[in-house]
Structure 1
Amino acid sequence: MNEKALRILEYNKIIEKLTDFATSPMGKEMCKNLLPSTDLGEICQGQMETSDALSRIYAKGSLSFSGLRNIRDSLLRLKVGSSLSVTEFMHIASLLETALRAKSYGRRETDDMSTDSLDGLFNTIEPLSPVCREIRRCILSEEEIADDASPGLKHVRRSIKLTNERIHSQLNTMVNSSSVSSMLQDNLITMRGGRYCLPVKAEYRSQIQGMIHDQSSSGSTLFIEPMVVVKLNNDLRELAAKEKEEIEKILGELSNQCAEYQEKLSTNITVMTHLDFVFAKANLSRSYSGTEPLFNEKGYINIKKGRHPLLDKKKVVPIDISIGKDYRLLLVTGPNTGGKTVSLKTVGLLTLMGQAGLHIPAFDHSELSVYEDVFADIGDEQSIEQSLSTFSSHMTNIVSIIDKSNYRSLVLLDELCAGTDPTEGAALAMAILKNFLRRDVTTMATTHYSELKVFALSTEGACNASCEFNVETLSPTYRLLIGIPGKSNAFAISSKLGLPDYMIDEAKKFIDVNDQSFEDLIADLETSRSTIEKERLEIEQYKSQVAGLKQKLETKQDNLSKQKERILREANEQARKILQDAKDYADQTIRDMNKLAAGKTGNMKELEKKRSAVRDKLSKTDDRLAIKKDQAKKNRPEDFHPGDSVRVLSMNIKGTITGKPNSKGQIAVQMGILKSMVSLTDLELLDEEVIKAPTLKKTGAGKIKMSKSASISTSLNIIGKTVDEAMPELDKYLDDAYLAHLNQVTIIHGRGTGKLRTAVHNKLKKCRYVKSYRLGAFGEGETGVTIVDFK
């Protein structure tokens, strides 16, 4: 990729943002050196790693590599047998602790979890915990080696401590002596050249036997080492040398241990640096809500809801851009400050980011092409030093682009051939664009020239686009409209800003009639497009509403079918039990009667008694199975009123009257979600008192039951509510659903932390009319919902 395009498209600013997300010096360096690739396999691998790291971040949180240190120089010293310093061992320990943390982060919780492209990297990391523990045991900090690092060091330091105590004891005795204390400048013990001394007044130098090590700047104080501690000070110096020797032994042994794992340490550095780089890309993607784009090598770009990553994602207007499939040239027109240049830069920058393995701020399944090079001529490149005008500077750049570009290039041109005579500039621009078209170069350009709009309309492989502008508010909407040329709106804008109408009318006279007609045509097209767009949105809303109503109707129909099947099944089962009971009784009676008839002294009285019992049993059975015939005599049309509670005898279920009797002796009855015309002879009035809202006055009809049956939903959504908020709502919903005779309902509580699901299940356990409940199956919502069956 040429550096000029990277600079113009502000790719370096994206790299700066990426570098900030890296947590180790080596990871930051890797981010700084990231450049777009032209190898499709390498690009796809980079994108896949970024996506997998982003998935891990959403699942487990981010991973820091701040403890990663570059110990490659230390590894070279180990290779030649040198001992490392305390600081170098601290860096190795920090690296290994980071490796242990990364290894733990990358470990799968269960063996059946799906793998990703980062598993191999995490598996390669070797924490070398024994080595790390040994380093931390021996080295407490960069200035301190632990006493227990070796027996020899412990013994030497004990001797040093005892010798120091003896020296202090001797010197304290002298300081506290009245004969000596008067000779001292201060009653304290000091050190000079690593040896303990006393500050003696110069006039008493001959009174205290010892070695003079220093004197004050005024010469009034001499620092004398008394003879009584000279030997002890000498012993202390020897012990210090032994301590240094023991420390060198310890560092040598640690160096030998680390030397055995040179390759693994080197691999840890490489792998964790790469992981730091990958997670930096993932965190960058998360910062602007990026997605992984699809790639092709056919020069086809299809960006859906793309945003410029350097603009505020809450304010920037997403754009849809498609180029390279049906047309290779996209010509963007429209007024200044309308977003043409931003659209141009968005396409270029997203292409560079995608080829660098970075996610792009666009909708899922946006598609980019792999280009060998991206060329851009954007902004003012005027050069005073080289005596180049704006036009000359741009033309120099365009000539270079023409020479270097091919069918595997993306060319972005802003205000092509501006800054010169409009007629000549437009002609020159058309010639340049035709050259790119002939060579199949994917090109996106912006212009104000009307001639180029006509050129795009009449040339195969070219397409117009425009940035929408609201003339009423004098502000751009920043929406990119493919297929429609833009209007400059100079007259409209000038009029809104207060330019007199007579001056605008005068200006229009200087415009060619054909140009004026073309601009009017563009305006008409824009008006038609806006109208069609509004109608399309309305149609989409209607389609959505129809789909929702259709879904509700299908759900109700399904519930109705289930209710009907349940009622018929229960009725058949009840009838079967009644008939079986009657049959068993009759069979037993016949057997008894046969025994009595076979007797020599047949007891006619007993036989008659048995026959009477059979008649009574059959009569009761007939009463239970059949509709009471005399009911018709009791039931009169004037006895039934809307809201009355009744029992439908043929189905043995309760219902509510919702209408008045018709001429056929039938009346509308609401039975749960089932509403049907039922004969008056099949009804039995029930004397039930229910409270009718809102007056709380008792009535003889089930008004509340009717409204519940008519409006109750088959599901309850309590996602986002606390347990305290959700439980009263769930309690009321279960009562309403049961009163409405629903067979099954769905409680939607979501996955989350599981607290809401647990509270729902505890409630269902205690509900007396709940038959059973279970979590949803695949396609029903799985663990995010609970399916409840009523008794």
Structure 2
Amino acid sequence: MEHSSWNALEYTQIKEMIKNLTVTSLGKEEIEKVEPSANFHQVEHQLQITAEAMDFLRLRGEVSLYGLEDIRNALKRVTKGSILQIEECWDIATTIHAGRQIKSSMRQLPEENVPLTYLRKNCEQIASLDELEEEIKRCIGEDLDVKSAASVELRSIRQKLVSGRQRIQETLHQMLRSTRIQKMLQESLITIRNDRYVIPIKAEYRGSLAGIVHDQSASGATLYVEPASVVALNNQLRTWELDESREIDKILSALSDLVAEVTNELTQNIAILGELDGLFAKAEFARIQRAMVPKLTNKGPLVLKQARHPLLARETAVPIDLMLGKDTQAIIITGPNTGGKTVTLKTVGLLALMTQSGFPIPVLEGTVMPVFSGIFADIGDEQSIEQSLSTFSSHMTKIIRILDKIDHRGLVLFDELGAGTDPTEGAAMAVAILNHVLKKGCSIVATTHYSELKVFAHTHPNAVNASVQFDVETLRPTYKLEVGVPGESNAFSIAKRLGLSDAIIEAAKEEISQEESRLEEVITSLAKAKREAEEEGTRALHLREEAEKLYQDVRGKWQHWEEEKHQLHEKARQEARSIVNKATREAEEVLTELRAWAKERPQDIKEHKLTEARSKLEQANPGVTLVAPVETFAPETELLSVGDEVKAKSFGQKGTVVEILTDNQYRVQVGSLKLVLNRTGLTKLKSTVSTTKPITSVRSRSFVKSEIDLRGKLVEEALLDIEKYLDDAILAGFKQIHLIHGKGTGALRKGVHTYLAKHRRVASYRNGEYSEGGLGVTVVELK
């Protein structure tokens, strides 16, 4: 892809931000290698991997690659027969440990809930070199010293070294305590020079103590002498130290041989762990920036939802919404300087580069990003004294290079197109360039101050105006992008706010041609009308969605109520049968007792009387079941009257005609709702018949209303009506009913509430809301 625009769009700064989140140089190299791709499937794959890393980080909370080191040079050396250093061996051990830890962390996540296909596959390929790690850590400690336990020989040598050093120090301490030696000492201490134990002697006693002078102080006043009595001991100590060094070399050589056997596995581990380091850096970047992986499209539009420039502080950056594609091929942004036009331009280009690099971007759900063949930007002024380039020449040089490379899948970004030359010629040039790029099929985002480009965007079928808003009262930009509305000229308003006289401002206005002034007014008014139409359309869409939601909600409730009714029928049947069965058992017990009594007093009761009683009991439990009523309907042409039971075709529910509005319209009570429906949408219920007589009578909901009117009644009368109505409503399967008692003095409402508070089948009750009748209605929830 085109590289020349990366710096202008600040892409390299984003890579640096992500590189700084890696743990090792391996991860930094992985990020450094990343470049935007124009291949859809490659971009899709990279974004999928990034999404997996984000999921892993979200589920685990944090990712530990502690101990991972770049051991590639050590592996190269060991393959050539070199002996590894202690630090290199230790780095290999900790790198093996890091691989095992990340592999274990991946296995701890349940695969059925979190597939993470790519990450799991890679982690499973990490070689578990536990034995090599254990052997290295058996021989080398965290202090990067070879342990005495590494070999029997090393342990023996170090024991000799400890013993030899003790003997030398004991000998020298005895000399320091000697009165003859004490007067020669500069200080009463033992030190080391050239790996030999010595004592500091005053220079004037140079020939008074037999031994070897190894050093002297800077002033020459002190000589560091190895007394003759410890020369042999020091020599022996030096021999053992050489033996120790040779033994350590043998141990490191053995470890190097073990490493050489698994260099391929270690090389593969390093490649996988380095890639994981880079992936987890992307995931951490997403967490910090609250970024996400956008939906990718091959041919669809670019849609940004609350997009932010990642280099701006999240708390202060004003997010933008923007769509580019379908009917909108070009967006022309106008507005004041420092208002955010260039930031918007950079945001679009940078997020496109980041997406095609597999980086998460700071946007919200609903964002869709296409894969562009190239992202070309003419941003900034590259004047050069050496090259003798003016502002206009600089822009044109870049634009010419862009025009030579673009194709129908390119994204082109122009900042202040046509600037740096005569306004008339610059505007004409800008329009020509835009037309040329549009014919190529590219997507365009351009910023400008020229009114001619506002007209171009307003009249071209594939272009649209946009603006960054400016608050004239505060003289500050809001940085808010508004698509569909061109930026207004605020020069006169700003000048007036700053104190420029009205006379000068009016004179300036007269200098503007009437055509240009009217053009600006027309564009502004048309843009305003378009914005208002879009807002009305949006409101209408919301109202439609709310109506659809309400309709679905009502249908759902009716279906739920019907299910509850059938359940209540079945429950009533079972309860009735249970009662009869219980009565039968109790009667059998009574009959048994009667027979026993009859045997004792046969003259008082006869057997046929007992048989007759038993027969009557059996007839009381015929065992029939409830059968749903069969509905029959009156002819469609039959007129409807108030009180007729009808069925609403669109709802599939029953109701009652409560008012005749016209010859063709009726107000129908359906449950707690009153609906105005046409005659064609209603079917009059003629009658209902049942094929089997039920054991218990259950009132059909179609004959029980969801409300009862108690107005004008005394409390005692109302309570009797409520008692019967509650029984009917419960049997009909209602869960909510309305008691209409009016407001009045409140005595009836108080009596109703007292009664409801004690009723065992009342779950709760409340005063009606404003739309339900307010304090004149009590809404009751039934168990």
The interval holding the TM-score normalised by the smaller chain is: 0.7 to 0.9
- Indicate yes or no: 2:233 matched with 1:232: yes
Query: What CA RMSD, in Å, does the superposition of the two structures yield over aligned residues?
Result: 4.4
Counting only pairs closer than 5 Å after superposition, residues 660-739 of structure 1 correspond to structure 2 as 673-675=736-738, 701-703=755-757, 709-710=764-765
2:716 maps to a residue whose letter is F
Is the Cα–Cα contact under 8 Å of residues 645 and 702 in structure 1 kept in the other structure? no
1:212–1:395: structure 2 CA closer, same or farther, 3 Å change rule?
closer
Q: Could you tell me how far 1:455 is from its partner in structure 2?
A: 2.6
Residues 211 and 225 in structure 1, CA contact (< 8 A), matched pair in contact too: yes
| CA–CA distance in structure 1, aligned partners of residues 487 and 762 of structure 2 | 57
Contact 1:353 1:359 in 2 (8 A): yes
Deviations 1:143-184 (A, max 9, x none): 522111110000011111112222223333333344444454
**d(CA) in 1 for partners of 2:152, 2:558:** 86
Q: Percent identity?
A: 37
2:349–2:375: 8 Å Cα contact kept in structure 1?
yes
TM (norm. structure 2) is 0.75
SS at match of 1:444: strand
CA contact (8 A) 1:54 1:282 kept: yes
* Counterpart-to-counterpart distance in 1, 2:586 and 2:233: 120
Give CA-to-partner distance per residue, 1:725-744, whole Å, 9 cap, x none.
xxxxxxxxxxxx9x9544xx
Q: Give the secondary structure class of the aligned counterpart of 1:134.
A: helix
Instruction: Indicate the residue corresponding to 1:30 in structure 2.
Output: 30
| 1:274 maps onto 2:275 in alignment | yes
Residues 645 and 116 of structure 1: CA distance in aligned 2, closer, same or farther (over 3 Å): farther
8 Å CA contact retained: 2:374, 2:411: yes
Summarize the Cα distance change of 1:153–1:544 in structure 2 as closer, same or farther, 3 Å threshold: same
Deviation at 1:208, TM superposition (A): 4.4
For the residues of structure 2 that align with 1:120 and 1:590, how far apart are their CA atoms? Answer: 79
- Of stretches 75-84 and 581-590 in structure 1, the one that deviates more from structure 2 is 581-590
- 2:20 counterpart SS class: helix
Partners of 2:472 and 2:535 lie apart in 1 by 18
Q: Deviations over 1:653-708 (max 9, x none)?
A: 999xxxxxxxxxxxxx998634589xxxxxxxxxxxxxx99xxx999534587996
Mapped to 2, the partners of 1:185 and 1:465 lie a distance apart of: 88
Work out whether residues 19 and 28 of structure 1, in 8 Å CA contact, stay in contact via their aligned partners in 2. Answer: yes
Map of 2:397 onto structure 1: 396
SS in 1 for 2:117: coil
Residue identity opposite 1:154 in structure 2 = R
1:328 touches 1:442 (CA, 8 Å); kept in 2? yes
Name the SS for the 1:35 alignment partner.
coil
Distance in 2, Cα, partners of 1:543 & 1:578: 52
Q: Tell me which amino acid in the other structure corresponds to 2:134.
A: R
Q: Evaluate the alpha carbon distance shift between residue 701 and residue 462 of structure 1 in structure 2; reply closer, same or farther with a 3 A threshold.
A: closer
Cα distance per residue 1:452-501 (max 9 Å; x no partner): 23333333443333334555665554443444444334444444555455
SS in 1 for 2:445: strand
Matched, 1:343 2:334: no
Aligned to 1:58: 58
- Which residues in structure 2 correspond to 1:182-193 (within 5 Å)? 182-193=183-194
What's the offset of the Cα at 1:199? 3.8
Residue 590 of structure 1: how far off its partner (Å): 10
CA contact (8 A) 2:47 2:359 kept: yes
Deviation at 1:87, TM superposition (A): 1.7
- Read off the aligned partner of 1:85 and give its amino acid letter: Q
Name the CA shift for 1:31/1:579 in 2 (closer, same or farther; >3 Å): closer
Conserved 8 A contact 1:589-1:610 = no
Tell me how far apart the structure 1 counterparts of residues 719 and 502 of structure 2 sit (CA, whole Å).
Answer: 72
**Equivalent AA in structure 2 for residue 62 of structure 1:** E
- Distance in 2 (CA, whole Å) between partners of 1:637 and 1:126 is 88
With 582-591 and 331-340 compared, the bigger mean Cα shift is at: 582-591
* Counterpart in the other structure of 2:420: 419
State the Cα deviation string for residues 262-301 of structure 1 (Å, max 9, x = none).
1111111111111111111111122222222334454842
Cα separation, partners in 2 of 1:180 and 1:562, compared to 1, 3 Å: same
Q: Is there any run of 5+ residues in structure 2 with no aligned partner, and where?
A: 622-694, 699-711, 741-748, 769-778
Give the distance between the partners of 1:502 and 1:99, measured in 2 at CA.
77
1:517 is the counterpart of 2:518: yes
Moved more, 467-476 or 418-427: 467-476
Matched residue, 2:716: 640
| Matches of 1:504 and 1:206, distance apart in 2 | 105
Q: Residues 353 and 577 (structure 1 numbering): CA distance in 2 closer, same or farther, change over 3 Å?
A: closer
- Match for residue 39 of structure 2? 39
* Structure 1 equivalent of residue 295 of structure 2: 294
- 2:434 counterpart SS class: helix
Equivalent position SS for 1:381? coil
What TM-score results when the alignment is normalised by the length of structure 1?
0.75
- What secondary structure, in the 3-state scheme, does the structure 1 residue paired with 2:323 have? strand
Amino acid at match of 1:420: T
The letter for the 2-side match of 1:320 is: D
Tell me the SS of whatever aligns to 1:140: coil
Paired letter, 2:448: T
Instruction: Give the drift of 1:243.
Output: 0.8
Give matches, 1:563-582, under 5 Å.
Answer: 563-580=564-581
Give the direction of change, closer, same or farther, for the CA distance of 1:450–1:29 in structure 2 (3 Å limit): same
For 1:486-501, what aligned pairs fall within 5 Å after superposition? 486-501=487-502
Letter in 2 for 1:79: T
Distance change in 2, residues 1:207/1:459 (3 Å): closer
Secondary structure at 2:6 match in 1: helix
Counterparts in 2 of 1:461 and 1:165: CA distance versus 1, 3 Å: same
- Partners of 2:440 and 2:77 in 1: how far apart? 57
Cα deviation 1:301-331 (Å, max 9, x = unaligned): 2323322222233333332322243243332
Is the CA contact (8 Å cut-off) linking 1:198 and 1:224 kept in structure 2?
yes
Q: CA 1:425–1:255 in 2, change beyond 3 Å: closer, same or farther?
A: same
Q: Mark the CA change 1:254 to 1:504 in structure 2 (over 3 Å): closer, same or farther.
A: same
Q: CA deviation at 1:514?
A: 3.4
2:78: which partner in 1?
Answer: 78
Q: Does 1:129 align with 2:184?
A: no
Matches within 5 A, 1:86-97: 86-97=86-97
Give the whole-Å Cα distance in 2 for the aligned partners of 1:605 and 1:142.
109
Shift of 1:78: 0.9
What's the secondary structure of 2:311's corresponding residue? Answer: coil
Contact 1:644 1:701 in 2 (8 A): no
Q: Counterparts of 1:479-628 in structure 2 under 5 Å?
A: 479-501=480-502, 503-532=504-533, 535=536, 538-539=539-540, 542=543, 553=554, 557=558, 560-561=561-562, 563-580=564-581, 605-606=605-606, 610=610
Partner of 1:126: helix, strand, or coil? Answer: coil
Corresponding residue for residue 9 of structure 1: 9
Q: Contact between 1:582 and 1:618, CA under 8 Å: does it hold in 2?
A: no
SS in 2 for 1:371: coil
Structure 1 residue runs of 5 or longer lacking an equivalent are: 628-635, 656-668, 678-691, 714-736, 743-791
**Counterpart-to-counterpart distance in 2, 1:514 and 1:448:** 17
Matched, 1:467 2:468: yes
Q: How far apart are the structure 2 equivalents of 1:545 and 1:139?
A: 72
Q: What are the superposed Cα offsets for residues 50-69 of structure 1, whole Å, 9 maximum, x if unpaired? A: 11100111100232435322
How big is each residue's C-alpha offset from its partner over 1:706-754, in whole Å with a ceiling of 9 and x where there is no partner? 99634599xxxxxxxxxxxxxxxxxxxxxxx9x9544xxxxxxxxxxxx
The CA deviation at 1:130 is 1.7
Equivalent pair of 2:332/2:445 in contact (CA under 8 Å): yes
Aligned to 2:165: 164
Between the aligned partners of 2:96 and 2:404, the Cα distance in structure 1 is: 53
Aligned to 1:433: 434
Does residue 68 of the first structure (1) align with residue 122 of the second (2)? no
Rate the CA distance shift 1:182–1:299 in 2: closer, same or farther, 3 A.
same
Alpha-carbon separation, structure 2, partners of 1:339 and 1:183: 83
- Residue 146 of structure 1 pairs with residue 147 of structure 2: yes
Q: Which one is further off, 216-225 or 377-386?
A: 216-225
State how far apart, in whole Å, the 2-side matches of 1:280 and 1:79 are: 31
Provide the rounded CA distance (Å) in 2 between the counterparts of 1:615 and 1:373. 96
1:119 lines up with 2:182 in the alignment = no
Q: Which amino acid in structure 1 is aligned with residue 736 of structure 2?
A: I
Partner of 2:198: 197
